[in-house]
A and B are shown apart, each in its own frame.
Chain A
Amino acid sequence: MADWTPLALWQRLLALPNESRVKTVAVAVLVSAVSAVVVAGTAVTLRPLQEANRAAERQARLDAMIAELPGMADILTASGADSLETVIVDLRSGTVAEDLDPAGFDLRATAQDPATSTALAAVDDIAGIGRRPDFSRIYLVRVGEALRLLILPVYATGYQSTIHAYLALEGDLNTVAALSIVEQAETPGLGARVQDRKWLDLWPGKKIANEQGRVLISVVRGSGQTIYEVDGITGATRTSNAVTNMIRFWLGEHGYGPVLERFRRGEL
């Protein structure tokens, strides 16, 4: 007499009183299963679009920074449009990691994977990033043999977000060509002003280290007096300090120090 076709089972399930244990479990399982399928389906279908959006965003910021560097457009047209070299460097040794493909490189994934990153001691971790990636993708422009521009991705923990930026150095490796903040979620109107054109325009021409090689560049309270100092942002002390620490960390021995050293010696 029992009818075991799916439709009949379904009707019997619906007919059960709501408070019965079987129905409670069945409803919970069904709702979770359907929700899971909907969520997973959307996420998987839309992932390629989202990845493309993120990549386009990063590329647009990088392009915008290069386009705004004085004289850079001329250099690029003079030496052909594709003269921006992309290189993956190994931050432990300062050498080029030939076996990694620059196109598929993901700095954030690299920084999170224990296999490709190094935990930082608290005293060294002035940028507040916890783990430092062992590899990074840098960009360079050469005219002939001479290095004209080096673009380094950098990041640090700010007041309430991680600040991601590109720092462009001139060929002498001691002059800032540009700073471009590509991603941040600091306090709107205060810390978020690090992304303002006007503030970023203070950076080009600033020197990084003195003759002895000590890194002196910093964001100061009030107005910067020397060639190493950039005006601070009122009401955004923590964010300003984070930018200072970001640059000091990444140009120091745990950041791009070994890479810069090799560039100075002409080995790269």
Chain B
Amino acid sequence: MARLPKTVIDPIIDQNPIAVQILGICSALAVTTSLTTALTMSLAVIAVLVTGNLIISLIRNHIPTSIRLIIQIVIIASFVIVVDQLLQAFAFGISQRLSIFVSLIVTNCLVLGRAEAFAMRNPVGPSLLDALGNGFGYAVVLLIVGAIRELFGSGTLLGTQVLPLTTEGGWYPGLSLMLLAPSAFFILGILIWAIRSVRRAQVEPNEYPPAAEAREARS
């Protein structure tokens, strides 16, 4: 039993899908302009991951290998549509702000990656935990990036004004770079650097060392 919680805890830092495996970055850039959208997107991804992994794990013994990827994508895509429709019905404002990125969860390598790498080979219980763990790992990074971008970009957190903006008579001049996609890259980069400075094990060996170093290594 001690093994099970590890499938949940591991993907949050040690095997974080965004910070270590660098999966699902596209949506991580697009939806993190505010904490609310990042939170909604995280919940949507967790929902799709969990339901997708659950169903795929349930029928894993009966999926013919030749069409397994198509089957996985069909199942994942259906859940993505369901989540998108639910958002449009019950959280209309937020679904407008997330626009196309909810439907694009289907192309998120993270979801298909977990289905193919884990749910296809493991029973329902561990698959569920794995989905939860990876979902949380994705959510943690999204929420950190979202919080930083919203706070410094528009001076708010979850829509509440924290730093009063100069345009509204306060003292904080909004940093509009934070509202553009590149800032997400910067924050993500700094975040990965920080995690790898603490956890040296994550640092990958240099595949293409500079010529001088390579010569030294050989001699």
Question: Is A19's beta carbon under 8 Å from chain B?
Answer: yes
Contacting pair A18 B81 (CB below 8 A) = no
B residues less than 8 Å from A32 (CB atoms) = 74
Of the four ranges (under 10, 10 to 19, 20 to 34, 35 or more), the interface on chain B belongs to 20 to 34
Does A53 contact B78, Cβ atoms closer than 8 Å? no
Kindly supply a per-residue 1/0 record for chain B positions 77-99, scoring 1 wherever the CB is within 8 Å of any chain A CB and 0 otherwise.
11001100110111010001001
Tell yes or no: A214 within 8 A of B by CB.
Answer: no
B180 at the interface (CB under 8 A from A): yes
B180 touches A188 (CB 8 A): yes
Contact A185-B81, Cβ < 8 Å, known A24-B64, A31-B71, A46-B89: no
Q: Is A59 an interface residue (CB 8 A)?
A: no
A28 at the interface (CB under 8 A from B): yes
Main SS of the interface on chain A?
helix
* B33 close to A35 (CB less than 8 A): no
CA distance A19 to B64 in the complex (A): 6
Residues from chain A with Cβ under 8 Å of B65 in the complex: 18-19
Q: How far is the CA of A70 from the CA of B86 in the complex (A)?
A: 39
Task: Kindly list chain A residues whose C-beta atoms are within 8 Å of the C-beta of B82.
Answer: 38-39, 42
Q: How far is the CB of B179 from chain A (nearest CB, A)?
A: 4
Q: Check A42 against B99 for contact (C-beta < 8 Å).
A: no
Contact partner of A43 (CB less than 8 A), chosen from B74, B85, B176, is B85
Say whether chain B's binding surface is mostly helix, strand, loop, or mixed: helix
* A32–B74 alpha-carbon span in the complex (Å): 7
Is A187 an interface residue when CB atoms closer than 8 A count as contact? yes
Q: Does A261 contact B (CB under 8 A)?
A: no
Residue-wise, chain B 99-125 has the 8 Å CB interface mask toward A (1 for contact) of 100000000000000000000000000
Per-residue CB contact flags for chain A residues 7-19 toward chain B (1 = under 8 Å, else 0) read: 0000000100011
Which of B66, B89, B180 has a CB less than 8 Å from the CB of A50? B89
Whether A23 contacts B70 in the complex (CB less than 8 A), given A35-B78, A38-B82, comes out as no
* Cross-chain contact A14 with B81 (CB below 8 angstroms): no
Which residues of chain B are near A50, meaning CB under 8 Å? 85, 88-89, 92
Report yes or no: B66 in contact with A24, Cβ–Cβ below 8 A: yes
Complex contacts, A39 vs chain B, CB 8 Å: 78, 81-82
Q: Which residue of A lies closest to B174 (CB)?
A: A189
Q: Nearest Cβ distance between residue B87 and chain A, in whole angstroms? A: 10
Q: Are A38 and B78 in contact (CB under 8 A)?
A: yes
8 A Cβ contacts from A154-200 to B: 185, 187-190, 198
How far, in angstroms, from A187 to B177 measured CA to CA in the complex?
A: 12
| B4 CB within 8 Å of chain A | no
A27 engages B62 (CB within 8 Å): yes
Instruction: Please report the C-alpha to C-alpha distance between residue A18 and residue B63 in the assembled complex, in whole angstroms.
Output: 7
Cβ of B67 within 8 Å of any chain A Cβ, yes or no, is yes
Q: Which residues of B contact A (CB under 8 A)?
A: 33, 59, 61-67, 70-71, 74-75, 77-78, 81-82, 85-86, 88-90, 92, 96, 99, 153, 167, 176, 179-180
A-B complex: 3 closest residue pairs judged by Cβ atoms: A189-B179, A53-B92, A35-B78
